[in-house]
Chains A and B, each alone.
Chain A
Amino acid sequence: MTSKIPTNSSLASANLTSWKSITDDVMPTWLQDAIKAIMLPMIGLLFFLLIWGTVAQNIETSLGKFPGPSEALEQFQSLITEHNEERSKEVAFYQRQDDRNEARLAQDPTYQIKIRNYTGKPTFIDQIGTSLITVLTGFILASMIAIPLGIMIGLSKNLYAAANPVIQLFKPVSPLAWLPLVTMVVSAVYVSDDPLFAKSFVTSVITVLLCSLWPTVLNTAVGVASISPDLINVSKVLRLKPMTHVFKVVIPSSIPMVFTGLRLSLGIAWMVLIAAEMLAQNPGLGKFVWDEFQNGSSNSLGRIMVAVLVIGLIGFLLDRIMLMLQKFFSWDKQALLR
Chain B
Amino acid sequence: MNRRIETKLTNKSINPILELTGVGIEFPTPKGPFKALTDVNLKIAKGEMISLIGHSGCGKSTVLNIVAGLLQATEGGAVLEGKEVNEPGPERAVVFQNHSLFPWLTAYENVELAVKTIFDKNKTKAEMKEWIEYNLNLVHMGHAMHKRPDEISGGMKQRVGIARALAMEPKVLLMDEPFGALDALTRAHLQDSVMEIQKDLGNTIIMITHDVDEAVLLSDRIVMMTNGPSATVGEILNIDLPRPRNRIELADDPKYNQYRQQVLSFLYEKQRKVEPLLNNHKINKEKSQKEEKTA
Contacts and interface: CB of A to CB of B under 8 A. Distances in A.
Contacts of A233: 68, 70, 88, 94, 96, 100
Given A331-B104, A332-B103, A237 B92 contact: yes
B167 to A, nearest CB: 11
A239 B102 contact: no
Interface string A237-263: 111100010001100110100000000
A276 B104 CA distance: 40
B98 interface: yes
Contacts of B104: 252-253, 255, 331
Contacts of B96: 230, 233-234
B80 interface: no
Interface in B84-111: 87-90, 92-94, 96, 98, 100, 102-104
Contacts of B89: 237, 239
Given A230-B96, A244-B117, A331-B148, A237 B102 contact: no
A237 B93 contact: yes
Contacts of B87: 236, 239
B75 interface: no
Q: For the side of the interface on A, what is the size category? A: 20 to 34
A228 to B, nearest CB: 7
A334 B117 CA distance: 30
Nearest to A238: B117
B113 interface: yes
A239 B148 CA distance: 23
B100 A228 contact: yes
A88 B148 CA distance: 55
A228 B103 CA distance: 11
A236 B69 CA distance: 9
A160 B100 CA distance: 26
B89 to A, nearest CB: 6
A114 interface: no
A333 B90 contact: no
B150 interface: yes
B242 to A, nearest CB: 34
B17 interface: no
A248 B148 CA distance: 16
B150 A334 contact: yes
Contacts of A244: 117
A237 B90 contact: yes
Task: Count chain A CB atoms within 10 A of each CB in B69, B70, B114, B117 and give the residue with the most.
Answer: B117
A237 B113 contact: no
A332 to B, nearest CB: 7
Contacts of A240: 117
B118 interface: yes
A237 B103 contact: no
A46 interface: no
A39 interface: no
Interface of B: 68-70, 87-90, 92-94, 96, 98, 100, 102-104, 113-114, 117-118, 148, 150, 168
12 contacts: A231-B100, A233-B70, A233-B94, A234-B100, A236-B69, A236-B87, A237-B88, A237-B92, A238-B90, A238-B168, A252-B102, A253-B103
Interface of A: 228, 230-231, 233-234, 236-240, 244, 248-249, 252-253, 255, 331-334
Given A233-B96, A238-B113, A238-B168, 20 more contacts: A233-B94, A234-B100, A237-B68, A237-B70, A237-B89, A237-B94, A237-B168, A238-B117, A239-B87, A240-B117, A248-B102, A249-B102, A253-B102, A253-B103, A253-B104, A331-B104, A331-B148, A332-B103, A332-B150, A333-B150
